Amino acid sequence: MITGSATTVDSLSWQEQLAASIRDPNQLLQLLELDPELLDGALAGHGDFPLRVPLAYLQRIERGNLNDPLLRQVLPLGTELLATPGYSSDPLEEQNANPVPGLVHKYHGRVLLIVSPNCAINCRYCFRRHFPYADNKPGRGEWQGALDYIARDHSITEVIFSGGDPLAASDRQLQWLVAQLESISHLKRLRIHTRLPVVIPDRITEHCLQWLADSRFLTTMVIHSNHANELDPHVDNALQRLRKAGITLLNQAVLLAGINDSAEVLARLSERLFECGVLPYYLHQLDRISGAAHFAVSDQDARQLHQQLMATLPGYLVPKLVREIPAVPYKVPLG
């Protein structure tokens, strides 16, 4: 694993770590001592969807191992440019459920806010790799349309912070937005979908914990981890601090060929999550986003893996196997 830059990472704030993320495929290959012949394909994939890897995440990747499960999630490939039938730039048809800038309303009782257009890490299978963030990045002056939309619809009881990654926004901005939402009396719950506690655990600052703990909302944080190797002691510490602040912690993973399509790997992920105070929640079948077909696992194989998990783990450690289908008002169970 990369250890040479540990002191540098430890001395940086989370914002500085975010700014210092690796964005050059050539630099990534050099740091990880990978074959330079990979560069042409990496540059091609990077041109379609830019590379971004924080140093804190890079340190968990084994040098020289092209099959490292963390590397495979972030390394651009030329195969991403191949057209695949059934794969599109908007597989969940979110642009049809985007009534006002910054807001997606697909499910009864809850809406999703695109709080930040940015991510700390660009996962190659991301279902929003082609999302029109330029049209969905309201600042304080533009949030009123989304707030008015929520206030008018009394069936909405939960707001989901998403992105990008909502924790890529500043604590000051997030605290302000939560305060605006708290003034809407029919809202009860706040859910935050984020990968930042996993990829840059220093993001969980005292200020972050304070505004989370002080909110009147029942708050759930859904992290995104696909492999137990992502959950090092620094991540464990950040998650335990969130738990002590009263935040319910869940995990959603994506089933990915060559990364976690093994019952043993998935079982270890569930066990490691629970050690960190997180309950497995969803195991998603891959959303059919253009550029990610090489990660696909068949539904038949997915069901077999899920059955093996049920035979191996206690029920509370078995995530729900689901697929998201456009126009269906819930996640569709496959297990």
Q: The tokens of 330 are what?
A: 């819930």
Q: Which residues on adjacent β-strands are paired with residue 24?
A: none
Q: Are strands 103-107 and 110-116 parallel, antiparallel or unpaired?
A: antiparallel
Sign of the C-alpha dihedral, residues 220, 203, 76, 81? positive
Which strand ranges, in their side-by-side order, compose the sheet holding 332-333? 103-107, 110-116, 158-163, 189-194, 218-224, 248-254, 279-284, 320-323, 332-333
Q: Identify the pLDDT of residue 7.
A: 44
> From CA 227, how far away is CA 249, in angstroms rounded?
17
Domain boundaries, the chain: 6-81, 94-333
- Superfamily of domain 94-333, CATH level 4: Aldolase class I (3.20.20.70)
pTM for this prediction: 0.94
How confident is the chain (335 residues) per 10-residue block, as mean pLDDT? 57 96 98 97 96 98 98 97 91 79 92 93 88 62 91 98 94 97 98 98 98 98 98 98 98 98 98 98 95 97 98 98 90 91
